[in-house]
């Protein structure tokens, strides 16, 4: 079973930056997986933040993340990243990465049903 491990969270001041990583466990490849980033703040439902397609590396972002967050792949390390800039207190949440097997991209990965989930990494934006 595919295992995902998030890292890179922490405490940062408003306006600061963090880079989150999502790595597959050894023995697995993410070549045919779309990867999504989700977050859940205290008392709120989990929400999608961004995703990257499996075939063409097209990225998608929710409105609140556009212009501030950027996803990318480093295929040699079997890792995806979420670069978060201009962080705001409202970005505070546990961030999860998720994966779903997609050989052919047919639509935005924001609408996919994800099968594999990491355990999350805490992001806190505060003065």
Q: How far apart are CA 38 and CA 101, in angstroms?
A: 17
Stronger pLDDT, 38 or 104, i.e. the higher one: 38
pLDDT tens-digit readout, 24-79 = 988 888 888 999 999 999 999 999 999 999 878 899 999 999 999 999 999 889 99
Percent of the chain with pLDDT over 90: 82
- Which tokens in the block code for residue 9? 């969270």
Cβ-contact 63, 48 below 8 angstroms: no
In this predicted structure, what is the pLDDT of residue 26?
Answer: 85
Is the pLDDT at 10 greater than 80, yes or no? Answer: yes
Q: What is the mean pLDDT of residues 80-95?
A: 98
In this predicted structure, what is the pLDDT of residue 35?
Answer: 96
9 band by pLDDT with thresholds 50, 70 and 90: very high
Element (H, E) at 94: strand 93-101
């Amino acid at each position: 079973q595919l295992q995902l491990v998030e890292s890179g969270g922490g405490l940062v001041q408003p306006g600061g930056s963090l880079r989150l990583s999502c790595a597959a466990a050894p023995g697995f490849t993410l070549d045919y997986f779309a990867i999504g980033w989700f977050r859940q703040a205290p008392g709120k439902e989990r929400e999608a933040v961004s995703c990257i397609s499996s075939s063409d590396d097209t990225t998608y972002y929710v409105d609140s993340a556009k212009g501030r967050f950027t996803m990318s792949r480093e295929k040699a390390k079997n890792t995806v990243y979420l670069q978060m800039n201009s962080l705001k207190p409202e970005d505070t949440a546990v961030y999860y990465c998720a994966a779903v097997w997609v050989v052919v991209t047919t639509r935005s990965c924001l609408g996919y049903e994800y099968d594999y989930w990491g355990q999350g990494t805490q992001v806190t934006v505060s003065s």
